[in-house]
Structure 1
C-alpha cells in the first residue's frame, strides 16, 4: 500500500539554501520510488482557512518512505529546509482503490459517545 510523506510548511525563506534543497531532493527520492504528488501551489479554500505550503510525496510503502527520510543523502540536505522554514512532516498510509468511507468503522469501537 502506498505511503505518503506530507509536509505542511510555513515561513519558507526562499533563499540559496532552499534553492539548493530543491535542486538536490529529487536525487534522494529516486532510489526509494518517491515522487511528488503535490508541491505547494495555489489553494482554493472551500471551508475553513489555509496558510502555508502543502507537499505530498508518494512512496510504494511505509518502509520505502522511512528509508528515504533516514537515508544519508536526505539527512545531508534536510538542514537546508529545516533551518529555513517551519512546519510539520508526517507519514500516512493510503487506502485501496475500492475503499469506502465506512471501512474505518471496523477499526473504531462503537459506543454511544459522539466521535470527535
Structure 2
C-alpha cells in the first residue's frame, strides 16, 4: 500500500544556505527507497481554517520504505540542514487505496462505537 511523508513547514522569510544544500541533496536520499515528491512547496489555497506555511508530500511504495528512508544514514546526514532552520511537523501515513469506501468506514466506526468495552 502506498505511503506518504507529509510535512507542514513554516519557513522563515529568508532561507539560509543550509536549506539550499538540503534541497540539493534530498532527492538522492529518496531514490533508493522509491520516494518521489508529489507536492513540494506549491502555494496552498486555504479553503477552511488556517494554514501558515508550506506543504510537502512525498510518496513511497509502502510504509516500510518511508520509515527506511527517514531512518537512513543518508537522510539523517542532511536532516539538520532543514530542521535547524524551518520549524514544522512531519508525519508518515499509509494511503487508503483505490477501493476505499468512506460509507463502509463510517459503518465500521459506528459499530465499534456501539460495542461496549468489556474489562
Task: Tell whether 2:113 aligns with 1:110.
Answer: yes
Q: Which runs of 5+ in 1 are unaligned?
A: 112-116
Give the greater-gyration-radius structure (CA): 2
How far the C-alpha of 1:96 sits from its partner, in A, is 1.3
User: What is the rounded CA distance, in whole Å, between the counterparts of 1:107 and 1:35 in structure 2?
Assistant: 33
Instruction: Name 2:64's counterpart in structure 1.
Output: 63
Query: What corresponds to 1:90 in structure 2?
Result: 91
* Aligned-pair CA distance for 1:107: 5.2
Give the equivalent residue in structure 2 for 1:114: none
Counting matched residue pairs gives 112
Following superposition, the deviation at residue 104 of structure 1 comes to 2.4
Q: Give 2:7's aligned residue.
A: 7
TM-score normalised over the length of structure 2: 0.87
Unpaired runs of at least 5, structure 2: 115-119
Shift of 1:80: 0.1
| TM-score, reference length from structure 1 | 0.89
Equivalent-residue separation in structure 1 for 2:57 and 2:11 (angstroms): 18
d(CA) in 1 for partners of 2:24 and 2:104? Answer: 40
- Relative to its length, the structure with more helix (as a share) is 2
